[in-house]
Structure 1
Amino acid sequence: MPTPDGPEGTDDHQFFDILYQQFALTTDAKDAYWGVGFDPDEHLQWQVFSEGHEKGSERKWIGSFNHEVDADFAAGMHGALPDLIRRLHDAVDEAERMDTARDQAEGVAAEAVLENMGLQSQITELEREIAFLRGTG
């Protein structure tokens, strides 16, 4: 059962790593991008192709869709996923740094409160001693 921190107890980094590993296995994930084309002669007219970055590179068919928005989404997600995962990693790292900084600040505040309490106790004790000395002197 998935949890807010990731599937089956894995942490967020592991979840994003698994997602990236799955992306890396898709057609031409490292060497090309996915683009959308329209072919009116096909039953499913919106085609997604893997297209290399260099001129004359081979174009590979990925899949077909009934609707342009679906093809655009599939191609767009394929292109955006690596950046999204990098940003998610950065966000998780920043959240962990913020948690650590907050914990440290809370520790410093707690130490200051304890030190203040100790000083208040010393002040009270010194005031008693002064009062005692004034009473006898």
Structure 2
Amino acid sequence: MELPIRTHYDMLGGEAGVLHLVNRFYDLMDELPEAWELRKIHPQDSQESRDKLFKFLSGWLGGPGLYEAEYGHPRLRMRHAPFPVNIQMRDQWLLCMDMALDEQINDELLKMQLKNSFAKVGDHMRNQAG
């Protein structure tokens, strides 16, 4: 008998876990002076950004494809093209996400896998040098 494969979505606690991660990520972006440059390129009201990230991460982590159902293919680089994504912006984004992961996840292997995956996406998103 094969055991069902547990996705990262499942290991984070499904919908509630992903929502918690997204909300903590944006809360940290609001709170951390080190993330100020990143925060100021986002809308003052971050609810739409929170919703879109939740929907994207839901599918990206192996859960329901909410983002694709509503918006189509994510096309991350294209959708972020209007924004300056350099090393500083990438690092600020990863700082907030890494801290949110550290607070939420006790499983060190899962945490490492997610941090590595987010770092790869962050590098892929860069559209400016420096």
TM-score, normalised to structure 2, is: 0.26
Higher fraction of strand: 1
Going by fraction, where is helix more abundant, 1 or 2?
2
- Higher relative CO (Cα under 8 Å, sequence separation at least 6) belongs to 2
